[in-house]
Amino acid sequence: MNGNSTHTEILIQYLDGELKGEELESLRKNLADNQSLRDELDNLQLARKAAERYGLKSKINDIHKEMMLEMSQNKPAKSSVIKMFAQTGLRVAAVLVVLVGLSALYQYFTASPEKLFSENYQPYNIHEMRGMPVNSRLLENYKHGNMDSVIMEFNSLRAPEPEEYILTGIAFLESNQPEKAIGTFNRLIQQNADSKTDFFEDDAEYYLAMSYLKNREPQKALPLLEKIQADPGHPYHSKLSKWFILKVESLH
């Protein structure tokens, strides 16, 4: 058995409340000192929540107990595990459990705001013929990837145009300043609401949702993502699958 499998089994026992005494204290110390171990624990907790959502918890617990018993007796896992899952139609889950243990099933459901952001973030396409003209220096800086200069130019504008909000919000987002990106996109959305317009509203909604994910606020991203995914006419609809929405839900 490799080290990663050992860690996973111990962490599962910890989550199940099975660790006692020195084993428990040792794990707590390791968690305090080891970021990767803490990350794995976080992933297992998220995965367990996802498993509960899909009604798999009791089956996973049964398999866990059977596998742990047979490993303690140094016997290979029995085919009854596969048969049990095959009878319920969960052949894919059975293969995952038998081949790589419970950790694979947990990892299947694993998600984090940062991971979902990086997997689904889409670069912005500048709309040359849409909306009001964009400040030429701001636009050129954006095209050349000079995000700090985009932000400086935006801050010098008295009355930014709608697309300038979008470009600057993205500049904040790509400069790892998601809170400022959130504020910028929300300003455009509020400006549209006040003036009863919808300039670049679709873009603002999508990038605002991405900013919330980047800022580890999936609960705020979810309503925007659900709105986009439910609207086939939304330009970002095809970017968001139902599976992606489920993974965001699992972060709650």
The total domain count for the chain is 2
Whether residue 47 is found in the same domain as residue 122: no
pLDDT higher than threshold 50 for residue 7: yes
Q: For the whole prediction, is pTM greater than 0.75?
A: no
Longest dimension (CA), the chain: 74
pLDDT higher than threshold 80 for residue 252: no
Residue of 126, 150, 148 whose CA lies nearest to 200: 126
Percentage helix, strand, coil, to 5, in the chain? 70, 0, 30
End-to-end Cα spacing for the chain: 33
Where does a domain end: 75, 93, 110?
Answer: 110
pLDDT > 90: what percent of the chain?
42
Cα separation, 102 vs 81, whole angstroms: 12
Whether residue 58 is found in the same domain as residue 144: no
